[in-house]
Amino acid sequence: MNNVIEKLNELLTSLGIGTSTVDGLDRFIVLLVVIGLAFLVQKLAKNTIMRAISKLVKKTKATWDDIIFDSNVMKKFFVLITPIIVYLFAPAIYQGESLDLVLRICMAFIIIMVARLVASFLGALYNVYSTQEKYKDRPLKGLLQTVQIVLYFIAAILMLATLMEKSALGLLTGLGASAAVLMLVFQDSILGFVSGIQLSANNMLRVGDWIEVPKYGVDGDVLEVTLNTVKVQNWDKTIVTIPPTLLMKESFKNWRGMQESGGRRVKRSVFIDMNSVHFCTQEMLDRFNKIQMVSDYIDEKEKALASYNKEYDIDNSVVVNGRRQTNLGIFRAYLVNYLKNHPSVNHDMTCMVRQLQPTEMGMPLELYFFTATTAWAEYEGIQADIFDHILASVTYFDLNVFQNPAGRDLRGLKN
């Protein structure tokens, strides 16, 4: 290398350039040539090796090679060739302070390129695992962004320490005074990072969850959880983004438990006109006994009530004496058996029909059960079918459903 520099020195001197200028210019020209050659080696290596690697990766079914030999990762790797070659050849070109400056610049460049390489590797890791069933519902993107921020922060500290010839630890100590400013600048990112960790650690939120935050107009599936935002697609296909910190401060509903349980709850009432509730006569019992869902119930109940009334010597000439069956009680038993025999009702979960506190609108008869599916459209169809049947069958038990009088009712009254 010294011979090349000497000949270049002689050439520049013969061109009439001053001696003081030539002494620095010859070495700088050699440095530029080394950089150019290193860049050429980098291009050749990238073009030849990348083609061979891409062919091999396509032939394998393994996952690890997709991560390591990702095109973005390999491009960042080959960029390291140029500063490494310059770093190795620099001692043959410069000495003393000039050599130290060139080495520090090369090392700073290498540090930044290594940080970019590691960040690209983490990005490839995210791309591969975020599509897998096991990991797709985890907030990996927020974790990736956090690690990348920490990585670039460390790389920046190391680069500055290298250029300034100072200890990285000492530089960090010196930056302690500006920590308050940094926290103010990155306040949202820090709070988002902490909230994201809490949401993930407590298993409160995953990608794919159906969440509701009515205060902020959120009602849909979580598409993405990042460092600063949670992206949700509402059922009307609009996109809403909210900070993770809001999900920690505010209450929100996550429907994942319902989806994983295999059943969705129905809790709806039919209001019975209390004026239509009566003790059952023998004629009514005979008529109701023809309804298969309650025939066994009526027979067993009649035997139990007859035994009770006989034991306590009840005077049956007055119907309010003793215990009697009512049309509402038989209807309630009918609904219980109807739900228990319905193929679209989840029979492993709570299923009951109960009376609620009477209101001015009548007696609320509430059905509390779970469907055998969590799919929204199917759930609504099952619920509608069941209540269609209830409204159509209630008159068979000599009961009336209450509803406020409409204009047609008032006209009928007038006539």
Say which residues have a Cβ less than 8 Å from residue 288's Cβ, sequence separation at least 6: 280, 294, 298, 327, 330, 397
The pLDDT of residue 55 is: 72
pLDDT of residue 2: 57
- Which of 209, 107, 205 lies closest to 162, judged by CA? 107
pTM here is 0.59
Given this model, what pLDDT does residue 85 score?
87
Buried b (16+ CB within 10 A) or exposed e, 203-233: ebbbbebbbbbeebebbbebebbbbbbbbbe
Q: pLDDT truncated to tens, each residue of the chain (415 aa)?
A: 556 666 666 666 666 665 556 666 767 777 788 888 888 988 888 888 877 777 776 666 666 566 666 667 778 888 888 888 888 888 877 777 888 888 888 898 898 889 888 888 888 777 777 766 666 656 666 677 778 878 888 888 888 888 887 776 666 666 655 556 666 666 666 777 777 767 766 778 888 899 999 999 999 999 988 777 899 999 999 999 998 888 888 889 999 999 889 899 999 999 999 999 999 999 999 999 999 999 999 999 999 999 999 999 999 889 899 999 999 999 999 999 999 999 999 999 999 999 999 999 999 999 999 999 999 999 999 999 999 999 999 999 999 999 887 767 667 766 6
According to CATH, what is the number of the domain 162-261? 2.30.30.60
Please say whether the dihedral angle defined by the alpha carbons of residues 222, 224, 230 and 232, taken in this order, is positive or negative.
negative
pLDDT at 145 (0 to 100): 73
**Cα 52 to Cα 11: distance, rounded to the nearest angstrom:** 43
Q: Name which of 173, 144, 398, 382 is nearest 265 in CA terms.
A: 382
pLDDT at 138: 63
Domain edges within the chain: 2-129, 162-261, 265-414
State residue 126's pLDDT score: 78
